[in-house]
Structure 1
Amino acid sequence: MSRIMDIDSQPNLKCLSDSDPTAGTVPETQKATVPNDNVAEKQDQGQTSHPGAPPDGIVVTFGDYQNFYESGQLFAQTSSNISWIGSIQTFLVFATGAVAGPIFDRGQLRPLLIVGTFCLVFGHMMLSLCKEYWQALLAQGSMVGIGAGCLFVPSLAVMQPYFSRHLGLAIGIAATGSSIGGVVYPVIFINLIDRLGFGWTVRIMGFVSLGTLPIPITISKMRVKPAGVRKMFDLSAFFDGPYLLCIFACFLGYTGCYTAFYYISLYGKMRGWMSPHASLYLVPILNSSSILGRTIPNWVSDWTGPTNVVIPGSFPTGVVLLCNLAVRSEAGIICTAIFTGFSSDIFIATPPLLFVALTKDKSKIGTRMGMAFALLGLGVLTGGSGSGGVLQRNPDHLDWTGTWTYGGVFTLGSGVCFLILRIWLAGLRINKRV
């Protein structure tokens, strides 16, 4: 077991301090003493899981919102238009995160958490009053998206200084917070929507966020301040072939995955295999299986490398999405939801590790990760709204064959790109860690 480093007792380690402009410098001789396999590490993992749990859990709940909005009880819009609400929301999570990174680098962790909490809760309260499509677009798409974006960066960045080993496992454990949120919030929505109506159901979800988010605001802290504030853009990244190919591969994967996240619940209902109420449970079923999909691959990546993990995750995801074309029963759609949740979440948990591994100059990790996630947000737009356009391209009927083909082919294309990336980096050597 590694020794826990008492920061206050180490005179050579400059701790985070407002009066010390050089705070955050860790001497080379002490880098190996960053805590890992011990009780304190596990406490830090739990501590940093909280910021990521509610926002991402709320984002992946949108599949149930999509199903409800499709019923026309609140407003009448096409599937593609409705999916723009969730697509903009998720895009703003990534885009806002790119802006929040430099703010975090200035040591402003708590203000980010406070602003994110306010926007998230305020967005839900405003959504509960919405009666029109444009109102939901502003409240849920914009306000909730910006709030979740302010929480997204701290939930990942605050834990990295606490680990010298097993960072992949740490990020995977933290990411399970969003999977848990992706189970809790849909269950709340499903069980209250018929009893209390849309307004109070959404308000209660906002109150749950208000009750849980003060926990990370209170206990989360930056262990050390970054040596300098990162830039918003790194022009050299546009000349880094493996980095650009990795972004493109993740983009394709996000497009395919969000097709399932948004439409699997509606698919079960419209095909008649499940009742409208039961079909809503496909979203928490998918998210519950993603708990293992976010921890096990990241844990394995600490030994094999992230590229070797994401490849065997990409191809099965594409195959499972295409398997939806052969589903003919409730049992079948539940099985595809479970397998989709496990395999697709490799795209959620491993990209940070990929970008870290592909960045040679580690001082640019923050910048390149922010740029990458901002671009990946565009994959959400093509996944949610793009697949919605395919679904309703024929006004006479819903084109489910085209929708699942769209998602499956994009995801298989992602696997091909990751395979090319691995050959680019390591050749044909199978036992190479990359």
Structure 2
Amino acid sequence: MADNPPIDIIHSRDHDRDLEIQVSSKERRPHSTENETATGLQQEKPEDVPPDGGYGWVCVASVFWINAHTWGINSSYGVFLSHYLTNDVFPNTSPLMYAFTGGLSISCAFLIAPLATHLIHLFGTRVVLNLGVFFETLSLIGSSFVTQRWQIFLSQGVCFGLGMGFLFVGSVSITPQWFRRRRGLAMGINAAGSGLGGMMYSLAVGAIIPRLGLSWAFRILGIIAFVVNVICANLLRDRNKIVGSRYKAFPLPLLKRPEFLFFLGWGIFTLLGYVAILFSLANFAVSIGLSAHQSSIVGALLNLGQGLGRPFVGMFCDKLGHINIAAFLTFLCGLFCLLIWIFAHSMGLVSFFAVLVGAVAGTYWATVAPVLAEVIGLKDLPGGLSITWIVLVAPTTVAEPIALLLRDNNSENRVYLHVQIFTGLMYTAAAVCLWIVRGWKVGDNIRVKQEKAAAAVETDQKDGGAVPPPPQATEAGDGKRSVDRSPVHSKAALWYPHTLLRRMVAAKKV
């Protein structure tokens, strides 16, 4: 044992020798010019370090309430849908056409993402946010005066989607700029806003419509949303110039990267399942014999679960890794749909499922930005999100129509059985896609560390040093330090099946 000194002692000796090399190097070059020094400073710009707090918490609170009054209000469409279907508000309108209205608002929000990204590049974040406030207010107030079905498609579908899209795209990438160590927690709090807003407005809409009517429900939502959103939009402050964010509407080279394509697959499958749950659960409650009031409570509990669960999702992401938690909870949501939702036939069990699945169903919204930042980097995050929202237009548009077509109206107690199986399988497929990304990320982290070590060797050799750097020490699974002597791999080698599978199951924080 005495002949084998611990690794930290080896490091200290190597460190001493590195200091000697640096001193001798300085002695050999005593007359370095000021121009060389200035050039070196320009080449080695210090990396931006987010403040991890300060005014960032004001931004977190602002994005929280924006989400509550965009995605939260949109989440209450399940209550509107149940009212439309049970009262035949617009004659000769099929359930499928009503379903397209809810999906249309989400798809339009994503469809407008490239334009919103380009406008941020031209005019800044605040202009885009206030543009979103205008369109959303116009949508809700305009919906209170509609008399025909095509009007509700334009107002509650297209116009609301435009407003939600401008507000969402303008705000979603601000919080990651302010946080690093607590980024998961901050994003989880942001995402909780849509859950809290969905709970509040599902209960509010369910109570307002019977008392004041459909028109006043829209007007009240419009007034409240305008006041809150206009305040929060003007409190937000981005750090685009400091971070060096690249606001490209279509950074097409990203589509050549397999890890980004699997990331998109995670989003596509997740959204197919998420929209189906979000807009079907309230009407599912009616299909098993519950009242309209009880169905609105179920919708509120679903959003309550999202509001309570997402901050904890962010906290676990900070401790265990964003990709790890996102993949696990996505799979868990699919499992809940297959093992609990299928057997839910009472108010108690449906309510339990609504809270439980709500805590994990919206994991995508709490983790999409941090996970994408891990995959492509913070500077390319706006452009990557822009492509992501465009890709998600199709699944969000067709998810609820697919769910309605899968309903078996001839069955008494199993009307939504095919919908439940479909939703569970979609979440499972999404988890598999992200788990593949995890395997790539584990390998990529190792590759980056090895490249840095190799670069350090070259630097020492150029400076005249003859002593190689110490082997790279990594944390082993038992908490002890071990030495990684594996060769440097190329980016293509990370996708070799045997390598990928081994690292998919490796115990690493990513």
Deviation at 1:217, TM superposition (A): 3.3
- Partner residue, 1:335: 352
Q: Which residue of 2 aligns with 1:8?
A: none
Matched, 1:262 2:338: no
What CA distance in whole angstroms lies between the structure 2 residues aligned with 1:161 and 1:417?
27
Q: Which residue of 1 aligns with 2:270?
A: 253
Residues 305 and 99 of structure 1: CA distance in aligned 2, closer, same or farther (over 3 Å):
farther
Q: Which moved more, 1:219-228 or 1:254-263?
A: 219-228
Which of residues 42, 48, 51 is equivalent to 2:66? 51
Q: Which whole-Å CA distance do the structure 1 matches of 2:437 and 2:246 have between them?
A: 30
Hey, what does 1:348 align to over in structure 2?
A: 365
Contact 1:64 1:265 in 2 (8 A): yes
Could you say if the C-alpha distance between residues 398 and 201 of structure 1 is closer, same or farther in structure 2, counting changes exceeding 3 Å? farther
Return the offset for 1:56: 1.1
- Of all paired residues, the percent bearing the same amino acid is 21
Q: CA deviation at 1:398?
A: 7.9
Does 1:220 pair with 2:236? yes
* Corresponding residue number in structure 1 for 2:186: 170
Task: Kindly indicate whether the alpha-carbon contact (under 8 Å) linking 2:62 and 2:236 is maintained by their aligned counterparts in 1.
Answer: yes
Match of 1:16 in 2: none
- Cα displacement string for residues 33-71 of structure 1 (whole angstroms, at most 9, x for unaligned residues): x3225x544333223333332111112111111111111
> What is the CA–CA distance in structure 2 between the aligned matches of 1:404 and 1:420, rounded to whole Å?
25
1:354, distance to aligned residue in structure 2 (A): 1.7
Asked if 2 retains the 8 angstrom alpha-carbon contact of 1:259 and 1:384, the reply is yes
Whichever residue aligns with residue 246 of structure 1, its letter is F
CA distance in 2, matches of 1:99, 1:259: 27
Q: Are positions 1:432 and 2:508 aligned together?
A: yes
RMSD: 2.4
Larger relative contact order (CA 8 Å, sep ≥ 6) = 1
Structure of larger gyration radius? 2
Aligned equivalents of 2:360, 2:412: Cα separation in 1:
33
User: Contact conserved, 2:141 with 2:222, CA < 8 A, in 1?
Assistant: yes
Q: Secondary structure at the match of 1:43?
A: helix
1:359 counterpart = 2:435: no
The one-letter amino acid paired with 2:507 is N
Q: CA shift at 1:329, angstroms?
A: 0.8
Structure-2 separation of matches of 1:368 and 1:120: 25
Query: Measured at CA, do residues 330 and 351 of structure 1 come closer, stay the same or move farther in structure 2, by a change above 3 Å?
Result: same
For structure 1, the 5+ residue unaligned runs are: 1-24
- What is residue 256 of structure 2 aligned with on the other side? 239
Q: Which amino acid aligns with 1:191?
A: A
Amino acid at match of 1:75: F
Q: What one-letter code is carried by the residue in structure 2 that aligns with 1:293?
A: G
CA distance in 2, matches of 1:88, 1:398: 27
Structure-2 change in CA distance of 1:50 and 1:106 (3 Å): farther
Q: TM-score, normalised by structure 1?
A: 0.87
Q: Give 1:431's aligned amino acid.
A: A
Residues 150-169 of structure 1 show CA distances to partners (whole Å, capped at 9, x for unaligned) of 10022222333322432221
Q: Of 290, 299, 309, which residue of structure 2 is paired with 1:283?
A: 299
Of the three residues 153, 156, 159, the one matched with 1:137 is 153
Question: Between Structure 1 and Structure 2, how many residues are aligned?
Answer: 405
Aligned to 1:3: none
2:35 is matched with which residue?
A: none
2:134 counterpart residue number = 118
Q: Please tell me the residue identity of whatever aligns with 2:393.
A: G
Whole-angstrom CA distance in 1 between matches of 2:438 and 2:47: 33
Asked if the contact 1:74/1:131 (under 8 Å) is kept, the reply is: no
User: Could you tell me which amino acid in structure 2 is paired with residue 248 of structure 1?
Assistant: G
CA distance in 2, matches of 1:215, 1:280: 29
For the structure 1 residues 264 and 104, does the alpha-carbon distance in structure 2 shift closer, same or farther, using more than 3 Å as the test?
Answer: same
Q: What residue in structure 2 maps to residue 42 of structure 1?
A: 57
